[in-house]
Structure 1
Amino acid sequence: MRLLVRKKIFAANHDSNGGETLYGLTRSSRWLLRDSEPSLAPMVLMENHPWLVAPWHCFSHCVKEGGIAFKMAHGQEIWDFALQNPELNKLFNDGMACTSRIISRAIVSGYKDGFSSIGSLVDVGGGIGEMMSEIMKSYPHIKGINFDLPHVISTAPKYNGISHVHGDMFQAVPQADAVIMKLPSINTRDRRKIPARLDTPSRPQADAVIMKILKNCKKAIPKKTGKVIIVEVVLQPDSNELFDETGLALDLAILAHTTGKERTEPEWKKILEEGGFPRYNIIDIPAFPSIIEAFHE
């Protein structure tokens, strides 16, 4: 408990009469309460489940031999494993949903002008629809489409004004005025079995995956007025701002569980240009990711 108090996870209250030390919550530990609003408990439970911890112990083997850490730990990639294991599917969906609720509020408050002119919006890899639901609360005029894999959509609750559509983002994306993707480095997967080596600095396979999705998004939106809204970390390795360390830690978690990666702005610029989006804006919001607004031309 002393370490947790030092890290400000808990507060210590010492009895003035020399009695027992009592411990209380801080702003940090309140995020861990299941019944708190907002709560990060589902994400913490997901990341600390033995299934998600095991791949971290495979990093040294991946460096020496190549391969995907999660697959090395469990014999298959996380998306196939979740398809066959409803418990992991629920853990992952609940974990992503709780972060969606938090990030979505930051998106709505930080991107007000961006949503006002959109008539229809598709959330690619939208999970069970939490982010789209939050957006629709503030912008009910938008026709919302929540798009994800069939086994994910099958567990999604009903929301007013939102259509749940299942499919494969590597094949096609539903037509809309705009596309939004939250944390695509985490959510995306390609069925091509390409090994991702830890000792490949740029992890080019991950770039190819994102570019493939971007090209399908480009086909789904109007050429002149359409846009892709990417809610993702833009790494600042040498910065000491509030969320910079979070982005680097998330990059490691992605490496443990998928073939993805987080990126710096120059890396994003390269991917966007090669994916067909030569013009973009980066918009800071009050959360660890930023909004990358990308346009056809």
Structure 2
Amino acid sequence: MTTPLTQLHPAPVIDETTRLLAEHYVFPEIAEQLAGLLQRRLAEGAYDSDSAEELARLVTADLQSINGDRHLRLKHHAVPVPDEQGAAALEAMRRDFDTSLGGAPRVQLLDGGVVVLEMAPMLFPLKWAAEPLSAALTLASRAQALIVDLRSNRGGDPDTVAFVCSYLLDERTHLNTMHWRGDERTEQSWSLPHVPGARFGGSKPLYVLTSDTTFSAAEELAYDLQQLGRAVVVGEPTRGGAHPCEGWTVHPNLEVTVPVGRALNPTSHTNWESTGVQPDIPCAAADALNRAHTLARARLAG
């Protein structure tokens, strides 16, 4: 059930959205352009729809129209969400976490000693996900080759990316650097020197499956491992969202998400924004598991 515009009033939503862009968006020049665009569109009556869901769709299209930043969104929530910053995303994540075995819904032994580990629908906050992911990765550590399936993963927590990488490498490794808006502060991400379980390690064959749904932190996991030469990426180019973002509730049913930083990989000196992670072995997402399994078996046989 949608919320009528007579109850939400689009002008305050647009005003608050432009304020948040001006204060927080990692690219201030783009924020200024977007603020002007949203206010012009409001004045033209472009947002005079009859539902909050439609308003979210229209504003999101305009937010992404200048530089294609897919983390810039006005998100609609059918159920009213709290006013606290990030509360909307947290509630939705918790529901997904509880119904996906903590983000590791599948660990399966395939022929030839190959294990597939699916991580979906997100890489949840590490304080939630450490236990289930550690259990899944420790179980998979016995495999001769490992396939990490990220085809249905839409993002999550960079700390969880580093946690997963720690099971797939032999030593502490620099993975990524975040540059934050407004100052010269940077934050490096490294794999961990110790993990609460058994490592798969850094030498056995590793494949990562991607699709055009794979997004954000899931893209970072694929990209980090690819740039390190640790994994072969199989499947489709990913969606292309490299900017960490935060969310603010601007109406009981609407949340604006704004990127507040940008990633810089220490190997490539760039990131996957807009371009997506390009697979080493391109194929349809539906065929990626069979393709990776065939590659793994051939490598083990060789």
TM-score > 0.5, shorter chain as reference:
no
Could you say which structure has the higher helix fraction?
1
TM-score by length of 2: 0.31
TM-score by length of 1: 0.31
